[in-house]
Structure 1
Amino acid sequence: MAQINVTGLTFGYEGSFDNVFENVSFMVDTNWKLGFIGRNGKGKTTFLNLLMGKYEYQGSITSNAYFDYFPYVVSENDLEKTPDELMEKWKPGVESWRVMCELPKLSVETELLYRPFKTLSFGERTKIMLAVLFSGDNDFLLIDEPTNHLDMEARDIVKAYLAEKKGFILVSHDRDLLDACIDHVLVLNRATIEVQNGNFSTWWDNKEKADAFARSENEKHLKEIGKLKAAADRTARWADKSENSKIGFDPVKENDRSISTRSFIGAKTKKMQSRVKSFEDRMNREIEEKEGLLQDIEETIDLKIMPLKHHKERLIECRDLSLKYIDGNENVIENLTFEVLQGERVFLSGANGSGKSSLIKAILFQNANFAGGNGVNDFMGGYDADADVIRREATGKNGSHATDSQSMGKLSLSGELKVASGLKISYINQDTSHLKGSLMEHAQKNGLDYSLLLAILRQLDMNREQFAKNIEDFSEGQKKKVLIASSLLTPAHLYIWDEPLNYIDVFSRMQIERLIEKYAPTMLLVEHDVRFREKLSSKEIFL
């Protein structure tokens, strides 16, 4: 058992307006299962990189522990190699037999170690990297977002695996995962850093109570300050009036006054001025006690969305739908039947590779006006590489009603897929690699109101300093917020979101949950966040 002591840590990126960390001090134990929580852009990944010694900083980080980081870096050349060849590069000195002992706990066959890395699914890659990560002795492991892009089954396997381990920092925004795997939390609040015993739910419950107490105390101090201000103002006016009456008086109207009363009035004025000073001192004490009460409260602003009302109740209808890629032998989807009605929030569930994104792709390009470019707001990118092919091949076909082996670009469709005519779709793709340039260029390119885009991003807690950067320099969570803000600005009948919450912080997830609950837009979603799906789903389709 060892400790990691952080003392006076100060760090900022070159050219940045603000430091990421400013004189930060705390201590954690290397025996803990530590969950790392904070808003996007607050410095979680930066702190892990500081532990790995990647950046220079002021202050000190002291520990006897050896740090190892997930995910391991995989270059283009590495894709041709097998995990067995790569593991020595990832974790020098690692022993293959120890990795093999970890693989069954992650439901991974040993033979996958000898396949080219590029042939492995995302879930298989994640599990093999975790097996290598946990194959050392006395390491303190830094695990950064291990479940992004994983299906539910893979997430459950990773969750059960991590629950049996200890000695790590886990960066994740998945509330279900954090509750299952951690026994302490390290929280980057708005102004402070805290370390607390318990899992996510324990911390969140304590935070809500602390926030309620802080608001109550703040309100009490504000009322007291208001009373003191009124009393001080009233007493000051009395003192001024009394002071002004010291010299000069009308002997007829004020026959009880004489020159000798001047000292009495002066003494009374001095007493009242002393009382004013006492009020001001009490006010300053109240203000001092009030300061800092609300510094860590996450005041999330309710978002807005502008869903359109379609003249048809049924927006999408599938009957015995099968999909396969033209260059493939097997169907990715077979004999699927479902419908999407107005007001429904339909979640697509299934393992990676079960056809969720392929189904979304078919719906997007089946949309009646897509060939003309105005039926789908696909500014979020998506399938740009196939777009021109599919537009050309869709020319002359009935866009709202596909049957019997129609070809949609690289997809072949059989069965029936109906999309309501005139349907406007706002789409978020799970990929962010297409986002480039400034926010203004993004807004102009996609016909968005630039001022409103910035306003929504501020509501999603993006700092104004970020607006001066190019989007490719944003964190993954900040890029996702650009996509979500763009979608919210787009009036649509149907919102199709493909894994929108990857990398999105917990507070923004709750913000988006409230938005969907309030405005009830019609949605078709792929999302593996258990809490999000349980709270919002009106229908679930298993592929």
Structure 2
Amino acid sequence: MSTIELKKLTFGFGNQTQLLFDQTNLIIDTNWKLAVIGRNGRGKTTLLKLIMGAYPYQGSIIHQTAFNYFPQPIKNRTQLTYFVLTEQNDIESWRIEKELNLLQADPNILWRPFDSLSGGEQTKALLALLFSDDQHFPLIDEPTNHLDQRSRQQVAKYLKTKNQGFILVSHDRSFVDEVVDHVVAIEKQQLMLYQGNFSVYEEQKAIRDNYEIEQNKKLKSEISRLKQTAAEKAEWSRGRERDKYGKPNVKGSGAIFDTGAIGARAARTMKRSKTLVNHMEQRIETKEQLLKEIETTDSLIMNVKSSYHRRLLVVENLQLGYDNQALFQPISFQLEKGQRIALQGPNGSGKSSIIHYLLGTFSGQARGSVDLAQNIPISYVRQNYEDNHGTLPEFAQEHHLVYEELLNNLHKLGLERQVFENRIEDMSMGQRKRVELAKSLATPAELFIWDEPLNYLDVFNHEQLEQVIKLVKPTMLIIEHDETFLNNVATQVIKLHGE
């Protein structure tokens, strides 16, 4: 057994005002299958890079381990896949072929140009390379991107049966549940270790959060009582201050008491009162420092327009294809008000093509019929949104959005306020995805069409979307590979089968 030990790790990027990690400690057993989870921007990938020594930091990271990182950077994507994989790694082809077989991928992809492979095939090739080397400890960053549900299940089974430990970053809850036995959550600049999978983490975190919420309630109640008492004592002290000057008689002929004695006694009483107030203020400050910051997410707002249409879409024997080659067998379904239909199928089976056909942007051949309610407003989350550009005010104006509603959802989705000033084309892919999603949420619509909405989003965003969908019950057509999300929001699943 070997370990990776973090001692008083402190790190933040120079352009950020807040540290990502502050005096945090953690010991990782390299036999663990460990998932790192947390909000986007909290430092999951950065933690992997720090462990590899990619950034300078304060504190110490102690280990006797050599690391391999997924995904490996690709220098020349036009080369044969085998040469792409072995350009920086002297690994025999039979080792990679063995891992590809375990991943249920065709080993012949090694002899095709890397850029000709599908996203799923590229992922499997890079994973096969990662585990062909048993001399290095794997650090795996988002392996489920571009994988359909079947491929995710294949990769999950592959990782689950590995005797080797690893550290995994993934936002797919079902996937994490399948493959890990420990979870590290990045919370409040600290690393919190949980033994078990994602479901165990959620249960334990809920118990801890509920306990801390109850403790916060008690502390806030006590703080409120102390503040009230301190205010009363302060007012009483001010009353004694006035007593120093004595009281006039009824006829206004001057003081009838010994004002010197009264003043001295009032001064002593006032001094004791002020000491008591200061003591209470110190107690209040101590109590306030005990208040816990609970990791919470705010509820999103979805601009659903009421529809008088009972049935918004009817699809009968629809079949799409290119060059007289059908993508899938004919399908038929109806989408009624309040229903949420999910389209499922392997990568390349034609799911997005159906959406393009509905929106009038499909360039291939079509058979069958589609009846979409006329002139209904549609809100669309695109799988490819790289053409979004400009400042957020310009973007809101271009898409006829209420700017405040766009910013409100962006902030709730975890986009930092300082990013609001950036141009969209200068944002990270995760930030740009949030802009695309916030646009859809703010667009008044009777029908919401979402094509892989969860890419680049963290598990907290997944839960936010699930909550708002279950609350407002919009009419939706969804393409998504995340099984947990679909189980929680879809009212019907339509599976596409190859021709």
TM-score, normalised relative to structure 2:
0.90
Residues in 2 aligned to 1:14 and 1:353: alpha-carbon distance in whole angstroms: 42
Tell me, in whole angstroms, the C-alpha distance in 2 between the residues paired with 1:101 and 1:280: 73
2:332 alignment partner in structure 1: 337
Q: SS where residue 155 of structure 1 aligns? A: helix
Contact 2:230–2:280 (CA under 8 A) maintained in structure 1: no
8 A Cα contact 1:477 1:505, kept in partner: no
Check the 8 A contact 2:22/2:189 in 1, yes or no.
Answer: no
Which residue of structure 2 lines up, in the alignment, with residue 197 of structure 1? 195
Aligned AA for 1:509?
A: H
- The CA distance in 1 between the partners of 2:388 and 2:66, in whole Å, is 36
The residue number in structure 2 matching 1:396 is none
How far 1:324 sits from its partner (Å)?
0.8
Q: Extract unaligned runs of 5+ from structure 1.
A: 366-389, 391-407
Change in CA separation of 1:18 and 1:440 when aligned onto 2, cut-off 3 Å: farther
Give the distance between the partners of 1:533 and 1:193, measured in 2 at CA. Answer: 30
| Separation in 2, partners of 1:278, 1:192 | 37
Percent identity between matched residues is 40
Work out the CA distance in 2 between the residues paired with 1:217 and 1:268: 40
- 1:1-20 equivalences under 5 Å are 1-20=1-20
C-alpha deviation, 1:50, in angstroms? 3.0
Matched, 1:411 2:408: no
Alpha-carbon distance in structure 1 between the residues aligned to 2:419 and 2:290 = 25
2:227–2:284 contact (8 Å) kept in structure 1: no
Return the letter of the residue paired with 2:353: S
Give the deviation of 1:286 after TM superposition.
4.3
Mapping of residues 75-474 of structure 1, within 5 Å: 75=75, 77-78=76-77, 80-90=78-88, 92-165=89-162, 166-242=164-240, 244-245=242-243, 248=246, 259=258, 262=261, 270=268, 273-274=271-272, 277-278=275-276, 280-291=278-289, 293-295=291-293, 297-325=294-322, 328-365=323-360, 408=362, 410-474=363-427
CA contact (8 A) 2:237 2:273 kept: no
Alpha-carbon distance between aligned partners in 2 of 1:293 and 1:509, rounded to the nearest angstrom? 28
Q: Could you say if the C-alpha distance between residues 243 and 309 of structure 1 is closer, same or farther in structure 2, counting changes exceeding 3 Å? A: closer
Describe the shift of the 1:260–1:112 C-alpha distance in structure 2 as closer, same or farther (beyond 3 A): closer
Q: What is the distance in 2 between the residues matched to 1:515 and 1:128?
A: 37
The answer (yes or no) to whether the contact 2:316–2:331 under 8 Å persists in 1 is yes
Aligned partner of 2:39 in structure 1 is 39
Deviation at 1:498, TM superposition (A): 0.5
AA matched with 1:141 = P
Whether the 8 Å CA contact 1:323–1:413 is kept in 2: the answer is yes
Seen in structure 2, the aligned counterparts of structure 1 residues 168 and 236 have a Cα distance that, compared at 3 Å, is: same
Letter in 2 for 1:219: K
Whether the 8 Å contact between 2:24 and 2:189 is mirrored in structure 1 is: no
The 1:470/1:20 distance shift into structure 2, 3 A limit, reads farther
User: What corresponds to 1:397 in structure 2?
Assistant: none
Distance in 2 (CA, whole Å) between partners of 1:182 and 1:477 is 24
Q: Which moved more, 1:305-314 or 1:124-133?
A: 305-314
After superposing the two structures, state which structure 1 stretch, 464-473 or 150-159, moved more. Answer: 464-473
The one-letter amino acid paired with 2:220 is L
Q: Using a 3 Å threshold, how does the CA distance of structure 1 residues 270 and 236 change in structure 2: closer, same or farther?
A: farther
Q: Secondary structure at the match of 2:325?
A: coil
Q: 1:307 is paired with a residue of what secondary structure? A: coil
Aligned-residue CA RMSD in angstroms? Answer: 2.6
Deviation at 1:411, TM superposition (A): 1.4
Q: Which residue of 1 aligns with 2:488?
A: 535
TM score, norm. by length of structure 1 = 0.83
Aligned length: 491
Residues of 1 paired with 2:381 and 2:118: CA distance?
A: 22
By how many angstroms is 1:14 displaced? 4.8
Structure 1 Cα separation of the partners of residues 226 and 304 of structure 2: 49
Alpha carbons of 1:246 and 1:345: their partners in 2 closer, same or farther (altered >3 Å)? Answer: same
Q: In structure 1, what is the Cα distance between the partners aligned to 2:112 and 2:329?
A: 29
- How big is the shift at 1:280? 4.1
Cα 1:438–1:238 change in 2 (3 A) is closer
1:182 shift after superposition: 1.4
The separation in 2 between residues aligned to 1:94 and 1:274, in whole angstroms, is 80
CA distance in 2, matches of 1:216, 1:251: 55
